[in-house]
Amino acid sequence: MLVCISLLAMLCVYSGCRPETPVEEVSVEQTDAGEELPALDYGPTDWPYWRGPTQDGKPSESASAEKPWTSLENELWKIKVPGRGHSSPVIYGNQVFLTTADDAAETQSLLAFDRDSGDELWTRQVHQGNFPSDGEMHRKSTNASPTPACDGERVFALFLNDAQLYLSAYSLTGEQLWQTSTGAYISRFGLGPSPVLYQSYVIVASEHSGGGNITAVHRKTGKVAWRVKRTRADTYSSPAIFNIDGTDHMILSGANEVVSLDPANGKTRWSIEGTAKSTCGTAVRWNDLILVSGGYPERETMGIRVGAKAEKIWSAREKLYIPSLITFKGHVLGLNDDGIACCWEVETGKQTFKTRTSSGYAASPVLDGDQIIILNEQGMGSILNQNPNELESVSERSFGTNAMASPAISGDRLYLRVAEEGANGRQEYLYCLQK
């Protein structure tokens, strides 16, 4: 009997099983989280959350580029960012928001900078202590990886702390408005998903081997509006919300499926088997097509047509694990952490090129006008023409020695978070570049 118990314990350790954490599901019909808030409204230079206003790496249509990028040399300012984090810059009005963590002091903070000068406007410590152990974090992960979100009145920061996910809301002047736990989180490699905004809600994906959930919190009150239980899988993709033929779909990959949820209540619209158990990238769209990729241990990139029903129309045995895809001119481009770049026709899945690059990628590409901007893990930034037949670089520039955060676009400016590692240690910087 003791031998059996010992064998079972060993199997549990090596298979990565975790105790199940209870998830209390909440129905939007049974809650009164708060009043219906005005529709989200942004200006042409705002990049208000992960992957920008379109949620797929592109500026809004009203912010179409007037002139192309010819180089990345025109530097308006460069400032030091304290601590360490992989969250991407968020821009609203004249402010740039970032999160960061000081691992030695065990603090997690939200920072605000002036968009024009780079001057620090304010810093707010959100948490102190209760960090995950080293064994609960991937060596490339940080304690400030999710990108914040801004609704025009509030900034929302998401952190893993004390084995829970805490969503905190701050005013644009740095006053804490509320803080809510969206549930327990058993960390294996850290936290990846960024919060997404929809109508009156901030929505957080929390997917882990203990038993995850997706939770919607009211933007003004901080009260939970709805919560649905998810499968027990360690997966890290952020949701994206796309309106297709008048219907809002919140798309999320991972746990060997691509699922569409109704962001108003969390109910499942459809689910299609595919990608991988663990994914990191966020879905993108092209008209009525959803494009997704992952991951680990399976390898699949796929196109899903969304109509009266959802249907997988093509599949490729390639994975773009960490960075999200980018669509352009009827094609979809992906770069992966192994240094492979692939491009496919969105309608057919026909691969138009596959190229090995000099370094792997963690940052997701962004598109501005007729150009795509990428940043590899070693800090090399590149401007690419939208060429579906090859990776055609216009200009390159090295920024530091490490880059994991994705670029952000604001009008004719580009904001980059990078790090320089040397004899004196690691220092992160925020760059503002102009065309």
Whole-angstrom distance, CA of residue 394 vs CA of residue 412: 17
| Token duo for residue 213 | 């959930």
Q: What local confidence, expressed as pLDDT, does residue 7 receive?
A: 30
| Token duo for residue 324 | 């999200």
286-309 as b/e, with b when 16 or more CB fall inside 10 Å?
A: beebbbbbbbeeebbbbbbbbeee
Whole-angstrom distance, CA of residue 251 vs CA of residue 263: 9
Q: What local confidence, expressed as pLDDT, does residue 358 receive?
A: 87
Spans of the chain, pLDDT less than 50: 1-16
Return the amino acid letter for 38.
Answer: P
72 beta partners: none
Burial degree of 318 (CB within 10 A; 0-12, 13-18, 19+): middle
Whole-angstrom distance, CA of residue 218 vs CA of residue 197: 10
Whole-angstrom distance, CA of residue 292 vs CA of residue 307: 17
| Token duo for residue 238 | 């952020």
Whole-angstrom distance, CA of residue 260 vs CA of residue 270: 5
Of 341, 344, 345, the closest CA to residue 354 belongs to 341
Q: What local confidence, expressed as pLDDT, does residue 1 receive?
A: 36
Q: What local confidence, expressed as pLDDT, does residue 17 receive?
A: 55
240 beta partners: 251
Q: What local confidence, expressed as pLDDT, does residue 63 receive?
A: 66
User: Tokens 């490490």 identify what position?
Assistant: 402
Q: What local confidence, expressed as pLDDT, does residue 11 receive?
A: 32
Q: Is 156 left (phi over 0), alpha (psi -120 to 50) or beta?
A: beta
Whole-angstrom distance, CA of residue 287 vs CA of residue 147: 26
User: Tokens 């691992």 identify what position?
Assistant: 103
Alpha carbon 233 to chain centroid, angstroms: 18
| Token duo for residue 22 | 């209870």
Q: Which three-class secondary structure string do you get for 29-95?
A: HHCCCCCCCCCCCCCCCCECCCCCCCCCCCCCHHHCCCCCCCCCCCEEEEEEECCECCCCCEEECCE
CB neighbours of 154 closer than 8 A, spacing ≥ 6?
A: 169, 170, 171, 172, 177, 219, 220
Q: What local confidence, expressed as pLDDT, does residue 4 receive?
A: 34
- Domains and their CATH numbers in the chain: 15-434 (2.130.10.10)
Of 282, 141, 273, the closest CA to residue 205 belongs to 282
Q: What local confidence, expressed as pLDDT, does residue 244 receive?
A: 97
Alpha carbon 416 to chain centroid, angstroms: 15
Q: What local confidence, expressed as pLDDT, does residue 64 receive?
A: 62
| Token duo for residue 136 | 């609960």
CA-to-CA dists, residue 163 to 70, 181, 185, 257, angstroms = 46, 10, 5, 26
